[in-house]
Amino acid sequence: MSFVVELDQVQRVFEGPPAVEALQATDLYIKKNEYIAIVGPSGSGKSTLLHLLGLLDSPSSGTYYLNGIDTSALSERERAGMRATAIGFVFQSFHLLSHRTNVENVMLAEVYKPGSSKNRKQRAVDALEQVGLGHRLNAYPTTLSGGERQRVAVARALVGKPSLLLADEPTGNLDTRTGEQILSLFDDLHEAGLTLAVITHDDEVSQRAQRQIHIRDGVVTSLETSG
């Protein structure tokens, strides 16, 4: 069994005062091509967990293996390298650069990825076509609807062919209909073989995943919904 993510007693404490144990010692496994939802109320530690998974933050204790690699032994340069190659992020507030076209925004994902200069633009165009925005390649994000903007962001997360896609409240800023478009896009990506972890406090969203990870006050309880 190959795991994309293995958390071995991973804990995150924010040094106070007062010290906050945002994530209590947690074991968590995510298999290749799994689609999980991380569910919990506000302040429960969802983002903390996602930042750890995305190598934007390091555990206070415990070990995180990403693609079988002990990430605690990596240098900052190597961690950044793994963010560039193995992880794709989708944020609630899109984080698109307003002075760049959609293609340029998607191309930005590979600027820090070693050896990616060749055909970068073509890959960005392909990614935008994959999310159904092939007709808005050279438009600016400011001219797009919220749902379209999030699809550009998904294209940016996909373009580097990551082994794990992390989404933090991807539908949080969208209405139900456009949110649904993003979720069906995730379904398609999952079907195509991608591993996804989606943070949400919305049950409708979490039901789309194969498995729900519940988190409350930093304590994770995993529920298997084998289908």
Partner 1 sequence: MLEDDDFQRSEDVVEIEIAQPATPVATSALTFRDLFSEMSIALTSRPGRTLLTAMGTILGVAALVATLGLAKTAGNQIVSRFDELEATQVKVEPQQQRGFGEQQQTSVIPWDSEDRLTRLNGVRSAGIFSSVNVSDSVRSVPVDDPLDESEFQIPVQAVSPGFFDAARSSLATGRFFDEGHSERNDSVVVLGPEAAERLQITRVDNTPAIFIGDKPFTVIGILADTAREPSILNALLIPNGVARQTYELQAPAEVLIDVEVGAAELIGTQAATALSPGEPDKLRVAVPTSPKRLKEDVASDVNALFLVLGGISLLVGAIGIANVTLVSVLERTGEIGLRRALGATRRHVAAQFLGESVALGILAGILGASLGVITIVVVSATRQWSPVLETWLPFAAPAVGALTGLLAGTYPAWKAASIEPIAALRSSS
Ligand X SMILES: Nc1ncnc2c1ncn2[C@@H]1O[C@H](COP(=O)(O)OP(=O)(O)O)[C@@H](O)[C@H]1O
Q: Residues in the site for partner 1, rule: CB under 8 A?
A: 47, 51, 54, 56-57, 68-70, 73-78, 80-85, 87, 89, 91-93, 95, 97, 99-100, 104, 108-109, 111-115, 117
Contact 170, 182 (CB under 8 A): yes
The site partner of 85 among Mg ion, ligand X, partner 1, none (C-beta below 5 to 8 Å per kind) is partner 1
The site partner of 112 among Mg ion, partner 1, ligand X, none (C-beta below 5 to 8 Å per kind) is partner 1
Kindly tell me which of 19 and 97 has the beta carbon lying closer to ligand X: 19
Alpha helices per DSSP H over the chain: 46-53, 76-86, 102-107, 120-130, 146-158, 176-191, 203-206
Using the rule CB under 6 A, is 47 a contact of ligand X? yes
**Residue 161 Rama label (left phi>0; alpha psi -120 to 50; beta):** left
Using the rule CB under 6 A, is 46 a contact of ligand X? yes
Residue with tokens 């091509």: 33
d(CA 7, CA 10): 6
The site partner of 103 among partner 1, ligand X, Mg ion, none (C-beta below 5 to 8 Å per kind) is none
Contact 156, 94 (CB under 8 A): no
Helix axes 120-130, 146-158, angle to 10 degrees: 130
Kindly tell me which of 47 and 212 has the beta carbon lying closer to Mg ion: 47
What is the 3-state composition of the chain as percent helix, strand, coil, each rounded to the nearest 5? 35, 30, 35
Q: Report the site for Mg ion in 15-74 (rule: CB under 5 A).
A: 47
Measured from the CB of residue 50, what is the shortest distance to Mg ion in angstroms?
A: 8
Kindly tell me which of 40 and 88 has the beta carbon lying closer to ligand X: 40
Q: How crowded is residue 194: how many other Cβ atoms within 10 Å of its Cβ?
A: 21
Measured from the CB of residue 18, what is the shortest distance to ligand X in angstroms?
A: 9
The site partner of 109 among partner 1, Mg ion, ligand X, none (C-beta below 5 to 8 Å per kind) is partner 1
Kindly tell me which of 40 and 147 has the beta carbon lying closer to ligand X: 40
The site partner of 43 among partner 1, ligand X, Mg ion, none (C-beta below 5 to 8 Å per kind) is ligand X
DSSP for residue 192: T
Contact 124, 160 (CB under 8 A): no
> Footprint of ligand X on this chain (CB under 6 A)?
14, 20, 22, 40, 42-48
- Residues lying near Mg ion in the complex (CB under 5 A) are found at 47
